[in-house]
Structure 1
Amino acid sequence: MFEVEWPWIFLLLPLPWLITKFVTNKTQLEGARLKAPFLSKHSLTQQQTAESKTSIGKTLAAWLIWLSLLASASQPMWVGEPITLPAEGRDIMLAVDLSGSMEMDDMVINGQKVNRLDMTKFVLKDFIQRRLGDRLGLILFADTAYLQTPLTRDLNTVAQMLDETVIGLVGDKTAIGDAMGLAAKRFAAKDNSNKILILLTDGQNTSGNLQPKEALQLAKSEGIKIYTIGVGADEMLVKGFFGYQKHNPSADLDEKTLSNIAKETGGLYFRARDAGELSKIYAELDKLEPISEEAIQLRPQTSLFYWPLSLGFILTLLLTLTPLLFQFKMQLSDKLSAKLNAKPEGAK
């Protein structure tokens, strides 16, 4: 069926007439006419008749332009037949560490060294695109935790927000407790939900208002299942005074705390030393059983605003170009008449 979202906008239809009626100074117009008493009644009548015909056409075109603009602004649309979509999925909140240590380039993608955040983005992008039917949210944490994207089925927006993140955006430290507390707060209003938090970090809690133990109690009270992922390679060659030496870049990773958080909430702790391991982890998370909800009914809508807008644009062009074309035609006609009436050279 055809629908108009804002029909009240047609109340503005008489606005140009009201402006003309109350704003135009009639006294000045009458005074201008009195300044030409030498014009005869006959000449005035002929001039007024010609001007009247032109004026009626211009007025009609102007009203059609105004009507088309109002019709476009009223948001006309075509609403299709209802479509019922089964609502079955999970509520998953992603918490991604943006601390300074995530800049360490101890990861490899397609044979090229990259930092931990780039590797996380690379693998998470595919994970997000596979979450059809799920609701995803995104939390970024460093010195404290921020909600970047609330729970939504708009997976493209979540992926874009993750892709736009940069290290140092929210500080250099690691507030694991704040990230868990913020997730618990966002899940508090979700009753019929499996409430899953995937927390990805490469360090230990060094900042924030909540300690992990306190945040763990909040998560348990809300029934949140937490899957923790420790990111970072086990060894890395570092050039020193005596040549290359092996170095553990993940020495600061608090695996004990992450394992305990996962165990206490019924989740799992994973160790991601490279992109391949992280991909396997997300494959395991794909197996989580979704929760069925009430079916969602949608009606596809097709916006039609461009049709009246196009009509108004065409009428505006015609109204603007017609006098110019008429003037050009008259000038061309005068030039042709002048050439025809000109006497040839030598003629008496």
Structure 2
Amino acid sequence: MYDLAAPFFLLLLPLPFLALRLLPPRDPAEGALRLPEGIAAEAAPVQAARRWRGPRRGLAWLAWIGLVLALAGPVRLEPTRDTRATGRDIMLALDMSGSMLTEDFDLDGAPVSRLDAVKRVAGRFVTERPGDRIGLVLFGDRAYVAAPLTWDLAAVGRAIEEAGVGVTGRSTAIAEGLGLALKRIIAADGRARVIVLLSDGRDTANRLDATGVARLAAEHGVRIHTIALGPADLESQPSDREAVDTATLRAIAEASGGKGYRVRGTADLVAMAADLDRIEPNPSGRPPVLVPRPLWPWPAALALLAAAALGALPLLRLPRLRRGFRAESPA
């Protein structure tokens, strides 16, 4: 698709034609050079002028049209994915406790550990959020910032891939992880701030109240969405040591105005991602924008070449004049 940035310049196209029609004719030049008859006949200025009149006019019009088109600013509109910032800051809080090594998760029909499932879910989430600023907090017995809020989603993805259990201890300090994520996201200047917590939901550190952190987040306008990973939960299987505490994660989400998700396998993962994109609109789902690519150098170059050729036309008559002078010199 093509367009003009300043189409009103096209109104200048008929200007030379109007000047030729409306302006009075130019007075003939006086003081012509007197030449011997032989030289004058050989030079044939009148015939030469008539012979070059057509090419001169064509080149002049070509230079003028190229100049006007360059001023009009032709552009080619190329569809490009809209990656403009949405003003949304998202902090991911990932559980790196020892229980995340339990291989009780079904992903794409194959048994994997909860850690691998967390990495798959978080990595997919990050890659599908171009235009948002994303950070990463890892927590086990303690919490630390693995990636600050950044537009570099590839760096966040690498931090997720390199995360491992045991770096920060093998306990599950959910409240500390949420607290650190909340501290970083409050300090940012984003208008929409979100925390996404992925965990098995069993806070074994018990140093802080996770729901209290969620209520504090709500006071600062920060929503927390929780994702509980694992096939079993404490509500239905309270005796299972590896069961997911979905009630705690759901309470955290509700206290902050967010939403809690239960993910047992691939189908739940797809449904969660679609619903989360609906709640926190994904900028990659926007229709493509048309980015203008300037094309004015092409008509400008055409105008320059035509003007150069127009200036070179008189030089083509010099050899003929020189032959005339040599023909008359013996006389």
TM bucket, shorter chain: 0.5 to 0.7
In structure 1, the partner of 2:174 is 176
Find out whether 1:217 has 2:215 as its counterpart. Answer: yes
In structure 1, the partner of 2:154 is 156
How many residues were matched structurally?
A: 199
Distance 1:285 1:189 in 2: 24
Distance 2:231 2:201 in 1: 12
| Aligned residues of 1:145 and 1:182 also touching (Cα < 8 A) | yes
In structure 2, the partner of 1:111 is 109
Distance 1:275 1:168 in 2: 27
Distance 1:85 1:274 in 2: 30
In structure 2, the partner of 1:258 is 249
1:286 aligns with one of 277, 299, 323: 277
Distance 2:265 2:152 in 1: 28
Task: Label 1:144 to 1:132 Cα distance change in 2 as closer, same or farther (>3 A).
Answer: same
Task: Label 1:208 to 1:159 Cα distance change in 2 as closer, same or farther (>3 A).
Answer: farther
Instruction: Please report how far the alpha carbon of residue 85 of structure 1 lies from its aligned counterpart in structure 2 after TM superposition.
Output: 7.2
| 1:281 partner SS | helix
Find out whether 1:95 has 2:93 as its counterpart. Answer: yes
Distance 1:97 1:273 in 2: 16
Instruction: Please report how far the alpha carbon of residue 265 of structure 1 lies from its aligned counterpart in structure 2 after TM superposition.
Output: 1.1
In structure 2, the partner of 1:134 is 132
Structure 1 residues 132-191: Cα deviation after superposition (integer angstroms, max 9, x where no partner) = 101111110110111110111101000000001111121111011101111121122234
Find out whether 1:268 has 2:266 as its counterpart. Answer: no
Instruction: Please report how far the alpha carbon of residue 279 of structure 1 lies from its aligned counterpart in structure 2 after TM superposition.
Output: 2.9
Q: Percent identity?
A: 40
Structure 1 residues 96-145: Cα deviation after superposition (integer angstroms, max 9, x where no partner) = 10111100111233332210111221232222111010111111011011
In structure 2, the partner of 1:196 is 194
Distance 1:277 1:85 in 2: 28
Q: Unpaired segments of 5 or more residues in structure 1? A: 1-83, 236-245, 293-348
| Aligned residues of 2:172 and 2:205 also touching (Cα < 8 A) | yes
1:125 aligns with one of 117, 123, 126: 123
Task: Label 1:250 to 1:131 Cα distance change in 2 as closer, same or farther (>3 A).
Answer: farther
| Aligned residues of 1:123 and 1:275 also touching (Cα < 8 A) | no
Instruction: Please report how far the alpha carbon of residue 248 of structure 1 lies from its aligned counterpart in structure 2 after TM superposition.
Output: 7.7
- What letter corresponds to residue 269 of structure 1 in structure 2? G
Q: Unpaired segments of 5 or more residues in structure 2? A: 1-81, 284-331
Task: Label 1:85 to 1:177 Cα distance change in 2 as closer, same or farther (>3 A).
Answer: closer
The alignment's C-alpha RMSD in Å is 2.6
1:146 aligns with one of 121, 140, 144: 144
In structure 1, the partner of 2:226 is 228
| 1:287 partner SS | helix
Instruction: Please report how far the alpha carbon of residue 216 of structure 1 lies from its aligned counterpart in structure 2 after TM superposition.
Output: 2.3
- What letter corresponds to residue 258 of structure 1 in structure 2? L
Distance 1:85 1:123 in 2: 22
Distance 1:129 1:291 in 2: 11
Which structure has the greater CA radius of gyration? 2
| Aligned residues of 2:108 and 2:265 also touching (Cα < 8 A) | no
Structure 1 residues 263-284: Cα deviation after superposition (integer angstroms, max 9, x where no partner) = 1211111111113312321221
Structure 1 residues 313-340: Cα deviation after superposition (integer angstroms, max 9, x where no partner) = xxxxxxxxxxxxxxxxxxxxxxxxxxxx
Distance 1:291 1:275 in 2: 20
Task: Label 1:188 to 1:260 Cα distance change in 2 as closer, same or farther (>3 A).
Answer: same
